[in-house]
Structures are given as structure tokens and as C-alpha cells.
């Protein structure tokens, strides 16, 4: 164990502090140490954003004292949609988390991926996410992209930020949508609250909301719902769910944002990332993720499992 009693940090972020004192080679390495629960501050589990102040006690366990956060889970089956030497795309099931939150946790997409592609555990920004390029909410299913090396990870993250990776979702929304719409409302997140909110343009300019843009197009009516395609131009958390709800079109089953019941398991809602298009470095790639059975069953016109 390495222990330091800080006397001059003056409110420095923990990840910066670990780099400055030479306990980590980079901020990414510092985040890995924190994600692996190897760092405590005054005896409590640390977070990367913790501010280190005068007289704080920081304890650091040796890296070898713990197993990887991304423990392999070979019993967990995940459909592989695409793979090459640098990139993997899998079909995430609904209600399965993308990655673990704590060391030793299993049952997530990344645990299954690491069992088949162990190299992805050493890639990416944090130890718990590995090479995960983007995330999907627990209740969302569909195509999930993972990098197999750091070069691919950095390039794909840049492409995602620049809009060079096209993601197309299918969603079942309450009510009717007759024509395509563009939603450009910023998305605000308040502390640890689960819900995100649509914010004003002024809030975006003040830096308390993120720009967000979604293209929504109707596909066909399904009973009292409408099946729509959604193409987000940005990637703010809960963006699609918030944008649709803000227009009176909440996603079926998404109770957090006012969606009506439709007969899905608790926590599951009718949202699926069905297509992802990207440049692999060797040419364009188009990947489609088949609809899972629980969502496909609700497309039948005669289905009567929706709530009142």
C-alpha cells in the first residue's frame, strides 16, 4: 500500500493528483486505478472527480492486488454481428448492462465480450468499459461497437464525435406521427438525477446543457402506437428518450419519461439500435442488428398485450 497525506493539492482532482505524483502515467491510467477500487480517500472508495484537499489521506493498493474489473463470463451468450482485427459489433440484449460498475460484477455485455476477445479489456478510457466505443441504456437493445486496440478506439471515438458513424434506431412511440421531424433541443443533466431534460438554447450557451439533434421519421402505425426511425446526430445520455417525450411521443414501456405500458418486462422499453454504418479503415461497413423476440412480437397488428 502507498499512502500520502496531501498538504498542497488545494482542491485538485484525484485523477490529476495521481498523475502529478507519479502514481499513474496518464489520466486514463489513473481512472483505471480508481475503477478497479484500488484508491481510497480518507478510507472511503474514491471517484475520479473527487477533489483532494489539505490533509486528505490517499491510499493506493498495488495493481497486482486485484483482478481486472472486466472479468470474463463465458457462460453469457452475445450475438456477434461483425468482427475484424480492430472492431467488434455485438447485438446487445435488452435489460443487459453494457459494462460492470464494480470489480467482480458479471452478467454484462463486456463480460461476455472479454470471454471471447480478452484483448478488449486493455483498451479504452476506463477499466470497467474496456474498448466500448458507445453505450446503450439498460432497457435498449441493438448494435454495440467495441474496439480491439487503442488505435481503433481513439479513431472510432473521434468518428463518433464528428458524426462519421451513423446509428439508426427503431422506436415504438405512443400516439401518431404523420411526418418526419427534426428535434434540436439541448439536453440537460442535473447531478445524479436519473432523468435528463430538454433545455433552452440559453442553457446550452451557459454550458449547463449539451447540444442534441435527432431526426425522427414515421414508418407505420401499430395500433395506438407509431413505429418510427430515429437517427441521432449527437450522443447525449437519454437523448432519444427525452426528445421523443418532449414532443408528446414517449417510447412505449419507458415509464421514466411517461411512456405507456406495452407488455414488456419492467425496465425494458421499445427502443432498438437496428443499424450502424461506419468506416472500418478498410472500407465502409453496414451492420444490421435483428429485432429481439420481445420487440418483434409487439409489431403484430393483432397483439393485445399492451396495457390499458
> Nearest 5°: phi and psi at 274?
-90, -25
Which of 294, 44, 164 has the alpha carbon at shortest distance from 145?
164
Nearest to 149 by CA among 247, 64, 83: 83
Residues 6+ apart with CB under 8 A from 179: 218
Q: What angle do CA 143, 161, 159 make, to 5 degrees?
A: 70
Question: What is the 8-class DSSP label of residue 132?
Answer: B
Catalytic residues: 137
Q: How many other CB atoms are found less than 10 A from the CB of residue 86?
A: 17
Based on its alpha-carbon atoms, the radius of gyration of the chain, rounded to whole angstroms, reads 21
CA distance 135 to 16: 25
Instruction: Report the distance separating Cα 257 and Cα 246, nearest Å.
Output: 9
Residue 65: CB partners within 8 Å, gap ≥ 6? Answer: 38
Residue 185 neighbours by CB under 8 Å, 6+ apart:
198, 199, 212, 243, 246
* Share in percent of the chain as helix, strand, coil (round to 5): 20, 30, 50
CA dist., res. 66 & res. 59, Å (int): 15
CB neighbourhood size of 218 (10 A)? 17
Amino acid at each position: 500500500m502507498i499512502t500520502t497525506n496531501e498538504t498542497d493539492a488545494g482542491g485538485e482532482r484525484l485523477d490529476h493528483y495521481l498523475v502529478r505524483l507519479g502514481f499513474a502515467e496518464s489520466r486514463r491510467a489513473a481512472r483505471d486505478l480508481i475503477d478497479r477500487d484500488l484508491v481510497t480517500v480518507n478510507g472511503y472508495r474514491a471517484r475520479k472527480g473527487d477533489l483532494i484537499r489539505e490533509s486528505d489521506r490517499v491510499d493506493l493498493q498495488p495493481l497486482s492486488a486485484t483482478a481486472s474489473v472486466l472479468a470474463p463470463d463465458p457462460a453469457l451468450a452475445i450475438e456477434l454481428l461483425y468482427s475484424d482485427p480492430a472492431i467488434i459489433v455485438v447485438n446487445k440484449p435488452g435489460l443487459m448492462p453494457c459494462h460492470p460498475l464494480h470489480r467482480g460484477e458479471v452478467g454484462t455485455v463486456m463480460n461476455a465480450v472479454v470471454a471471447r476477445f480478452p484483448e478488449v479489456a486493455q483498451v479504452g478510457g476506463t477499466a470497467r468499459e474496456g474498448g466500448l466505443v458507445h453505450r446503450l441504456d439498460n432497457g435498449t437493445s441493438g448494435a454495440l461497437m467495441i474496439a480491439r486496440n487503442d488505435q481503433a478506439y481513439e479513431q472510432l471515438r473521434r468518428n463518433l464525435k464528428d458524426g462519421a458513424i451513423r446509428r439508426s434506431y427503431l422506436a415504438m412511440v405512443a400516439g401518431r406521427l404523420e411526418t418526419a421531424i427534426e428535434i434540436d433541443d439541448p439536453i440537460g443533466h442535473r447531478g445524479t438525477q436519473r432523468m435528463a431534460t430538454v433545455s433552452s438554447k440559453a442553457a446550452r450557451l451557459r454550458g449547463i446543457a449539451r447540444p442534441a439533434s435527432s431526426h425522427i421519421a414515421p414508418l407505420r402505425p401499430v395500433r395506438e402506437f407509431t413505429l418510427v426511425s430515429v437517427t441521432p446526430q449527437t450522443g447525449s445520455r437519454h437523448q432519444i428518450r427525452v426528445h421523443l417525450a418532449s414532443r408528446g411521443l414517449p417510447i412505449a414501456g419507458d415509464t421514466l419519461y411517461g411512456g405507456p405500458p406495452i407488455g414488456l418486462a419492467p425496465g425494458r422499453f421499445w427502443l432498438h439500435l437496428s443499424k450502424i454504418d461506419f468506416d472500418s479503415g478498410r472500407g465502409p461497413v453496414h451492420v444490421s442488428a435483428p429485432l429481439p423476440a420481445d420487440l418483434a412480437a409487439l409489431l403484430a397488428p393483432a397483439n393485445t398485450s399492451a396495457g390499458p
